[in-house]
Amino acid sequence: MRISSELVAAVAVVAAISAAPAMAQSDWPKATVKIIVPYPPGGGADTSPRILLDGLSKKWGQAVVIENRSGAGGNVGADVASRAAGDGYTLLATPSPVLAVNQFIYKKLSFDPTAFKPVVMMTEIPTVVSTHPTLGANNIKELIAKAKAEEIAYGSQGNGSTSHIAAAMFEVATGVKFRHVPYRGSGPLVNDHVGGHIKLTFDNLASGLAQHKAGKLKFIAIASEKRSPFLPELPTVIESGVPGFVAIARFVLAAPAGTPDAIIAKINRDANELLATEDVKKRYAGIGAIPVGDTPKAMGDFIASERKRWSAVIKAANIPQVE
């Protein structure tokens, strides 16, 4: 069969056009990459991406910067990220509840959490039951007894955060009832916790670890299946008499809708390589965090499972929706 020169030329043009996006994406990034963190500085939400910044910047030959946009349990920052162009130059680094839980907590969101494209799970940090020394509860049994005898207020990182829904799960499991005081992230929460204004939190281990070691706070249990290698003397909540109680904060990286799969694959590959290095592992160990790393599909499957799990907890705990 004889093929005309015109057809050959046309095919070449189509091939060139099809290859153009891939070629453009292969040399990404050409400018600064911004990572939006929907919480204030301090705590695992802010620290998890910051530990990766230097490595990513070196790999890419471009600056990688954090922009903290806190408010409404992470919704403010997520909304800002959702409106960004899907070109890889704006990413969202967030605790998973912003994408998996907030839709069940808030009556209306200004963004669609399901529209974000999963990139990679960065770290996981177990929740700890943390008390101020003046509370006078040295273990879970004493905390339950005290909560049944008097009102205890607990602070959370915000409505819908892991610290909020973990406390709600604890209430359902033990029959106690606390008073919830939401904050705008771990930073201001820990400040008030150390000052004794809030005497109980269900925050992630990274947020108050230094203060616990200094004796300013007292961790009484950890909400992981097994004891943490970072604090082997600390019993689990399960050991302390609350069967099946597990609450672990996961910190993920996501991209706005429309971000090309090739760019997501590059970020995923480079982040996974860094998460596997001894230097990054050591830096995360310093805050009690465990680097994870996974595929975009695995992260997406995890977010879907979290939506199912925590929507059931929210329903069982009768958590009212927030305006």
Query: pLDDT, tens digit, for every residue of 234-255?
Result: 999 999 999 999 999 999 999 9
pLDDT per residue as tens digits for the range 33-87: 999 999 988 778 888 999 999 899 999 999 999 999 999 999 999 999 999 999 9
pLDDT band at 13 (very low <50, low <70, confident <90, very high): very low
pTM to 2 decimal places: 0.84
Does 17 score more than 50 pLDDT?
A: no
Domain ranges in the chain are 32-123+251-316, 126-222
Does 2 score more than 80 pLDDT?
A: no
In this predicted structure, what is the pLDDT of residue 193?
97
In this predicted structure, what is the pLDDT of residue 25?
55
- On the question of a common fold for 32-123+251-316 and 126-222, the answer reads yes
The whole-number average pLDDT for the span 191-220 is 95
Does 187 score more than 50 pLDDT?
A: yes
Q: Which residue has the higher pLDDT, 20 or 316?
A: 316
Could you confirm whether domain 126-222 is CATH 3.40.190.10?
yes
Cα 258 to Cα 280: distance, rounded to the nearest angstrom: 30
pLDDT band at 320 (very low <50, low <70, confident <90, very high): confident
pLDDT band at 167 (very low <50, low <70, confident <90, very high): very high
Which of these CATH numbers, 1.20.140.10, 3.30.70.890, 3.40.190.150, 3.40.50.970, describes 32-123+251-316? 3.40.190.150
pLDDT per residue as tens digits for the range 94-124: 999 999 999 999 999 999 999 999 999 999 9
pLDDT per residue as tens digits for the range 125-142: 999 999 999 999 999 999
